[in-house]
Amino acid sequence: MDQSADYITEEKRKALEIELEDLKGPKRKEILASLQYAKSLGDLSENAEYHQTREDQGKLEERIAKIEQILKSSQTVRKGGGDVIEVGSIVIVQKVPTESRGSSIADAIGKNKERKTYTIVGSEEADMAHGKISNKSPFGEALFGKKKGANITFKTPSGVVNYKIIDVS
Protein backbone atom coordinates (compact mmCIF):
# COMPACT_ATOMS: atom_id res chain seq x y z
CA MET A 1 0.00 0.00 0.00
CA ASP A 2 1.36 3.40 -1.03
CA GLN A 3 1.46 5.65 2.03
CA SER A 4 1.44 8.85 -0.06
CA ALA A 5 -1.87 7.99 -1.80
CA ASP A 6 -5.22 9.29 -0.58
CA TYR A 7 -7.42 6.67 1.07
CA ILE A 8 -10.92 6.48 2.47
CA THR A 9 -12.74 3.60 4.11
CA GLU A 10 -15.85 2.05 2.59
CA GLU A 11 -17.92 3.65 5.36
CA LYS A 12 -16.55 7.12 4.58
CA ARG A 13 -17.12 6.63 0.83
CA LYS A 14 -20.76 5.71 1.47
CA ALA A 15 -21.20 8.70 3.83
CA LEU A 16 -19.71 11.07 1.24
CA GLU A 17 -21.91 9.64 -1.52
CA ILE A 18 -25.01 10.18 0.65
CA GLU A 19 -23.92 13.72 1.50
CA LEU A 20 -23.23 14.48 -2.17
CA GLU A 21 -26.66 13.21 -3.18
CA ASP A 22 -28.27 15.43 -0.52
CA LEU A 23 -26.24 18.49 -1.53
CA LYS A 24 -26.96 18.08 -5.25
CA GLY A 25 -30.67 17.41 -4.69
CA PRO A 26 -32.61 18.89 -1.76
CA LYS A 27 -29.95 21.39 -0.61
CA ARG A 28 -29.45 22.86 -4.10
CA LYS A 29 -33.22 23.23 -4.55
CA GLU A 30 -33.49 24.87 -1.13
CA ILE A 31 -30.78 27.42 -2.02
CA LEU A 32 -32.36 28.16 -5.40
CA ALA A 33 -35.74 28.73 -3.74
CA SER A 34 -34.12 31.08 -1.20
CA LEU A 35 -32.32 32.88 -4.01
CA GLN A 36 -35.56 33.44 -5.95
CA TYR A 37 -37.27 34.71 -2.82
CA ALA A 38 -34.38 37.08 -2.06
CA LYS A 39 -34.48 38.41 -5.65
CA SER A 40 -38.19 39.11 -5.28
CA LEU A 41 -37.45 41.45 -2.38
CA GLY A 42 -36.15 44.08 -4.75
CA ASP A 43 -32.92 46.08 -4.99
CA LEU A 44 -30.12 43.48 -5.03
CA SER A 45 -27.35 45.95 -4.18
CA GLU A 46 -28.68 46.44 -0.63
CA ASN A 47 -30.36 43.07 -0.20
CA ALA A 48 -28.52 41.30 2.62
CA GLU A 49 -30.65 38.18 2.27
CA TYR A 50 -29.70 37.87 -1.41
CA HIS A 51 -25.99 38.29 -0.66
CA GLN A 52 -26.13 35.73 2.17
CA THR A 53 -27.92 33.22 -0.06
CA ARG A 54 -25.33 33.73 -2.83
CA GLU A 55 -22.58 33.11 -0.27
CA ASP A 56 -24.37 29.95 0.91
CA GLN A 57 -24.68 28.84 -2.71
CA GLY A 58 -20.94 29.32 -3.21
CA LYS A 59 -20.15 27.25 -0.10
CA LEU A 60 -22.53 24.51 -1.26
CA GLU A 61 -20.93 24.32 -4.71
CA GLU A 62 -17.47 24.33 -3.13
CA ARG A 63 -18.40 21.39 -0.87
CA ILE A 64 -19.89 19.49 -3.82
CA ALA A 65 -16.67 19.98 -5.81
CA LYS A 66 -14.55 18.88 -2.85
CA ILE A 67 -16.57 15.69 -2.28
CA GLU A 68 -16.48 14.86 -5.99
CA GLN A 69 -12.69 15.31 -5.97
CA ILE A 70 -12.26 13.12 -2.89
CA LEU A 71 -14.42 10.36 -4.39
CA LYS A 72 -12.58 10.56 -7.70
CA SER A 73 -9.01 10.65 -6.37
CA SER A 74 -9.20 8.43 -3.26
CA GLN A 75 -8.70 4.70 -3.10
CA THR A 76 -11.23 2.80 -1.00
CA VAL A 77 -9.83 0.43 1.59
CA ARG A 78 -11.42 -2.27 3.68
CA LYS A 79 -10.73 -2.74 7.36
CA GLY A 80 -7.23 -4.00 8.06
CA GLY A 81 -6.57 -7.53 9.09
CA GLY A 82 -2.97 -8.21 8.23
CA ASP A 83 -0.01 -8.08 10.57
CA VAL A 84 1.52 -5.04 8.84
CA ILE A 85 0.06 -1.63 9.69
CA GLU A 86 -1.62 0.10 6.76
CA VAL A 87 -4.72 2.20 6.17
CA GLY A 88 -7.65 0.41 7.78
CA SER A 89 -5.54 -1.30 10.46
CA ILE A 90 -6.55 -1.14 14.09
CA VAL A 91 -3.48 -0.67 16.27
CA ILE A 92 -3.01 -0.96 20.02
CA VAL A 93 0.00 0.95 21.30
CA GLN A 94 1.55 1.67 24.66
CA LYS A 95 3.65 4.71 25.42
CA VAL A 96 7.24 4.04 26.45
CA PRO A 97 8.61 6.81 28.69
CA THR A 98 11.67 8.48 27.19
CA GLU A 99 13.45 8.51 30.55
CA SER A 100 13.43 4.70 30.56
CA ARG A 101 16.42 4.41 28.24
CA GLY A 102 18.63 3.08 31.00
CA SER A 103 16.13 0.37 31.98
CA SER A 104 14.61 -2.26 29.75
CA ILE A 105 11.61 -1.53 27.55
CA ALA A 106 9.68 -4.26 29.39
CA ASP A 107 10.26 -2.43 32.69
CA ALA A 108 9.18 0.87 31.14
CA ILE A 109 6.01 -0.64 29.69
CA GLY A 110 5.26 -2.31 33.01
CA LYS A 111 5.27 1.12 34.68
CA ASN A 112 2.95 2.62 32.05
CA LYS A 113 0.03 0.23 31.59
CA GLU A 114 -2.15 2.65 29.63
CA ARG A 115 -2.84 1.26 26.17
CA LYS A 116 -4.51 3.19 23.37
CA THR A 117 -6.31 1.86 20.33
CA TYR A 118 -6.19 3.74 17.04
CA THR A 119 -7.50 3.13 13.55
CA ILE A 120 -5.28 4.24 10.68
CA VAL A 121 -7.39 6.16 8.16
CA GLY A 122 -6.93 8.50 5.22
CA SER A 123 -6.48 12.19 5.95
CA GLU A 124 -10.15 12.97 5.15
CA GLU A 125 -11.33 10.78 8.03
CA ALA A 126 -8.79 11.70 10.69
CA ASP A 127 -10.45 12.36 14.05
CA MET A 128 -8.12 12.04 17.04
CA ALA A 129 -11.05 12.33 19.48
CA HIS A 130 -12.43 9.09 18.05
CA GLY A 131 -9.07 7.34 17.74
CA LYS A 132 -8.78 7.78 13.96
CA ILE A 133 -5.25 8.73 12.92
CA SER A 134 -4.28 9.92 9.45
CA ASN A 135 -1.72 7.85 7.60
CA LYS A 136 -0.06 11.17 6.73
CA SER A 137 0.26 12.44 10.32
CA PRO A 138 3.64 12.08 12.07
CA PHE A 139 2.19 9.30 14.28
CA GLY A 140 0.54 7.58 11.30
CA GLU A 141 3.75 7.78 9.27
CA ALA A 142 5.72 6.28 12.16
CA LEU A 143 3.24 3.38 12.46
CA PHE A 144 2.81 2.71 8.74
CA GLY A 145 4.44 -0.54 7.60
CA LYS A 146 5.39 -1.68 11.12
CA LYS A 147 4.39 -4.94 12.82
CA LYS A 148 3.28 -6.06 16.27
CA GLY A 149 6.12 -5.77 18.81
CA ALA A 150 7.94 -2.95 17.00
CA ASN A 151 8.99 0.22 18.76
CA ILE A 152 8.39 3.55 17.07
CA THR A 153 9.66 7.03 17.74
CA PHE A 154 8.43 10.29 16.28
CA LYS A 155 8.64 14.01 16.97
CA THR A 156 5.78 16.06 18.37
CA PRO A 157 5.68 19.77 19.21
CA SER A 158 6.36 18.84 22.85
CA GLY A 159 9.30 16.54 22.06
CA VAL A 160 10.12 12.99 21.00
CA VAL A 161 7.59 10.26 21.84
CA ASN A 162 8.18 6.50 21.96
CA TYR A 163 5.55 3.78 21.57
CA LYS A 164 5.53 0.01 21.47
CA ILE A 165 3.05 -1.66 19.12
CA ILE A 166 1.11 -4.16 21.24
CA ASP A 167 -1.28 -5.51 18.60
CA VAL A 168 -2.33 -5.03 14.97
CA SER A 169 -5.59 -6.19 13.43
> Per residue in 82-132, pLDDT tens?
788 988 899 999 999 866 444 555 554 455 578 999 999 988 889 989 999
Give the pairing of strands 90-96 and 159-168: antiparallel
Amino acid identity of residue 44, one-letter, is L
Identify the residue with better confidence: 78 or 32. Answer: 32
Q: For 139-160, what is each residue's pLDDT tens digit?
A: 999 999 899 999 999 888 888 9
Domains along the chain with CATH numbers: 7-77 (1.10.287.180), 90-168 (3.10.50.30)
CA 8 to chain centre: 8
Q: Backbone phi, then psi, for 136, in 5-degree steps?
A: -100, 0
Q: 157 CB contacts (<8 Å, ≥6 apart)?
A: none
Q: How many CB atoms lie within 10 A of CB 72?
A: 7
pLDDT in tens, 36-93: 998 888 888 888 889 999 999 999 999 999 999 999 999 888 776 678 898 889 999 9
| Numbers of helices and strands, H then E, in the chain | 5, 7
Residue that wins the pLDDT comparison between 6 and 27? 27
